[in-house]
Amino acid sequence: MADYHGQIQLALAGFYDVLTDEGELFRTRARGNFRKRDMKPLVGDWVTFSAETKDEGYILDIDERENSLVRPPVANVDQAIVVTAVKMPDWSSNLLDRQLVALEEKDIEPVIYFTKTDLLSATEMADMIKVADGYRAAGYQVILPAVAFDEPSLLAVKDLLADKLSVVMGQTGAGKSTLLNHLAPELDLATGEVSQALSRGRHTTRQVGLVQLFGGFVADTPGFSAFEVFDMEARDLTHYFREFNALAPNCRFRGCVHLNEPGCAVKDALEAGTIMQSRYDNYKLFYDLIEGRRPVYNKHDKKH
């Protein structure tokens, strides 16, 4: 029985299809001891497995993960295409910034892809161009198509996929599946309200798999966007805002959280208009949200 090393491409009903470093595909199962250790192999995991035939392998070990997502359940993600609608549903800087914080925390590179730009008036489009430039200045890759899913924007996404494991994510109705279908029509993902109405109430077990696209891998199940939870401490939130990170060394105080401290480089940049007001406002909102969740420890126990 030979040992191999490879990456899980598909997880389905207890079976894992693994692509070896040499490009061979094996069907494997996970040994029982993973269950005992409460470990479950995920699509995207690098694993060592033994196999006698292409259909009968056993996963022996899972390499340490760079990161992992819950929806879709994928490990070792390099980048996320964050599909963001500018209309229907309306553009929300709050939602986008939540997603960016969640991705920064997991060390996943975000790419912002704006959809439904053809629904904007000329004035609204001019405003969105300013928004896109603001995110670029913050250090993000932004794709703002002149026309929804036009050729230049799709080419830009295709160029970004090479040599990476990518997921596509965004809120319901933003156009995740539509983008995936434009990139790879063979995926034929169900889109729109009709298919949602049909599948509602039926428990559809969708396997998660990686599709080889344009020299990289893409998870063929779009992710979701219910990033309500900020697990970090409030004082650590600043680390997940790129433009704040870049400015922080110039703050008077080390560990400045850019709220009430004097000599704060972030607040100076805000006044100068070099960082986005909406980003700063969302940062303050998220900060307060995390602080508000903190348990109050024994306020009245000091007497004892």
* Beta-bridge partners for 59: 30, 49
Highest CATH level, class, for 79-219: alpha beta
140 with 79: CB under 8 angstroms?
A: no
* The pLDDT of residue 208 is above 60: yes
The CATH code of the domain at 2-62 is 2.40.50.140
| Domain layout of the chain by residue ranges | 2-62, 79-219, 234-293
**Does the annotation flag 278 for ligand binding?**
no
Long-range contacts at 250-259 (CB < 8 A, ≥ 24 apart): 257/287, 258/283, 259/284, 259/287
**Does the annotation flag 182 for ligand binding?**
no
**Does the annotation flag 216 for ligand binding?**
no
**Does the annotation flag 172 for ligand binding?**
yes
Most confident of 3-17, 26-40, 202-216: 3-17
**Does the annotation flag 258 for ligand binding?**
yes
Task: Tell me the pLDDT tens digit for each residue of 261-301.
Answer: 999 999 999 999 999 999 999 999 999 999 887 665 654 54
Model pTM greater than 0.85? yes
- pLDDT score of 224: 64
Q: Given CATH 1.10.40.50, say whether it is the number of domain 234-293.
A: yes
**Does the annotation flag 126 for ligand binding?**
no
Interior/surface letters 153-163, b for 16+ CB within 10 angstroms, e for the rest: bbeebeebbee
**Does the annotation flag 176 for ligand binding?**
yes
152 to 30, 158, 246: CA distances (angstroms): 43, 10, 31
**Does the annotation flag 28 for ligand binding?**
no
Place of tokens 């896109």: 132
H or E stretch covering 30: strand 25-30
**Does the annotation flag 256 for ligand binding?**
yes
Q: How many residues does the chain have?
A: 304
End-to-end Cα separation, the chain, in angstroms: 67
3-state class of 254 per DSSP?
Answer: coil
Task: Tell me the pLDDT tens digit for each residue of 135-161.
Answer: 999 999 999 998 888 999 999 999 999
Rounded to the nearest integer, the mean pLDDT of the chain is 87
Task: Tell me the pLDDT tens digit for each residue of 10-26.
Answer: 998 889 999 998 999 99
**Does the annotation flag 191 for ligand binding?**
no
**Does the annotation flag 115 for ligand binding?**
yes
